[in-house]
Amino acid sequence: MTDLSSPLPIGPADIDAAARMLAPYAVRTPLLSSPALDERVGARVLLKPEILQRTGSFKFRGAFNKISSIPTSARAGGVVAFSSGNHAQGVAAAAKLLNMQATIVMPADAPLSKRERTKGYGAEVVLYDRDREDREAIARDIAVKRGATLVPPYDDPQVIAGQGTVGLEIADDMAKLGIAPDIVVAPASGGGLIAGIATAIKARFPQASLMSAEPEGFDDHARSLRAGKREPHRAEGRTICDALMASIPGELTFAINQRLLAGGLTASDEEVAAAVGFAFRELKLVVEPGGAVGLAALLAGHFEARGKTVVIVLSGGNVDADLYARLIA
């Protein structure tokens, strides 16, 4: 049994507060269903398409909630963040809405579209070498020099609470439909999204099984959940899931996920590519590889879904056209 009474980094009330903060700005994404998908997996599947969120991923939610909490006296210094792309856009767009300057530290190999879109929201982009430089150090240096506030990608209560509004909306919509989720799956990199979702869902549907989804090899959540402590993944190469390459779960996020998650799923790059193609052909939704890893785990049969009510979070849709063309070919 999950004990929700002892203290965790955030609770449902923090997510309710984030939802009120976000209401005028974030897109209230719907729950979608697809007869083709239901027939394919023999389950009742509800998709939460955060691809439809402002900036094309859920990251806007956490970024906006965090930046909104910066006191007026500290706003002139702007914000700084490090990100491979989706958090970058979320921070840039949120800062713009709040009339603040944003500087984003991005790996030089981040997808071009993510870099361009980040600049499009008015942010300054500083590139670094993913293999040789420390993005956190670069970001902290900028924060000190400019008096900017660092907006962490996941290990922050306000960020986790913002992402948790995804789970709150899922819970609200399912309550309206009169159905309860058996399984809820969301992609994990640092773990902020699934931690926030788990906090919101477990408060309303304590019987639901929450699971993280990661690219094969980049399975630090699956490993950590099994080990009962934070463990890095062992991957040395790349994955097509550019958004999901964090090396180890966050401290705050893992404190939540360790308590609320039933386990961690993985999917291979081939399975992810197939899921992106399925989403193109059958769902008519543009999902980036990292955003499709939960769908990939479902389609590949990596957990028992038959006869169940399953919620799959499609966390982002920012993918370069040339990679997308290869994935759907």
Near a copy of itself by CB under 8 A, which window of 123-131, 197-205, 225-233, 317-325?
Answer: 317-325
* Catalytic annotation present for 268: no
Q: Is 322 in the site for a copy of itself (CB under 8 A)?
A: yes
Residue 160 and residue 195 in contact, taking contact as beta carbons nearer than 8 Å? yes
Structure tokens at 68: 């909104």
- Residue closer to a copy of itself by CB (options 156, 288) is 288
Q: Is 34 in the site for a copy of itself (CB under 8 A)?
A: yes
Near a copy of itself by CB under 8 A, which window of 7-15, 30-38, 79-87, 254-262?
Answer: 30-38
Structure tokens at 201: 């869902």
Residue 48 and residue 184 in contact, taking contact as beta carbons nearer than 8 Å? no
Q: Is 283 in the site for a copy of itself (CB under 8 A)?
A: yes
**SS3 (DSSP) at 131:** coil
* Catalytic annotation present for 315: yes
Closest separation between CB of residue 100 and a copy of itself, Å?
18
Show contacts of 21-27: CB within 8 Å, 24+ apart: 21/64, 21/65, 21/68, 21/162, 22/61, 22/64, 22/65, 22/162, 22/165, 25/54, 25/64, 25/94, 25/97, 26/53, 26/54, 26/60, 26/61, 26/64, 26/165, 27/52, 27/53, 27/54
- Residue closer to a copy of itself by CB (options 10, 21) is 21
Near a copy of itself by CB under 8 A, which window of 147-155, 192-200, 217-225, 315-323?
Answer: 315-323
> Residue type at 230?
R
Q: Which of 83, 86, 89, 113 binds a copy of itself (CB under 8 A)?
A: 113
Residue with token string 């040789």: 132
Q: Which of 4, 17, 27, 300 binds a copy of itself (CB under 8 A)?
A: 27
Contact residues toward a copy of itself (CB under 8 A) are 27, 30, 32-36, 49, 51-52, 54, 56, 113, 277, 280-287, 317, 321-322, 324-325, 328-329
Query: What positions carry a catalytic annotation?
Result: 59, 315
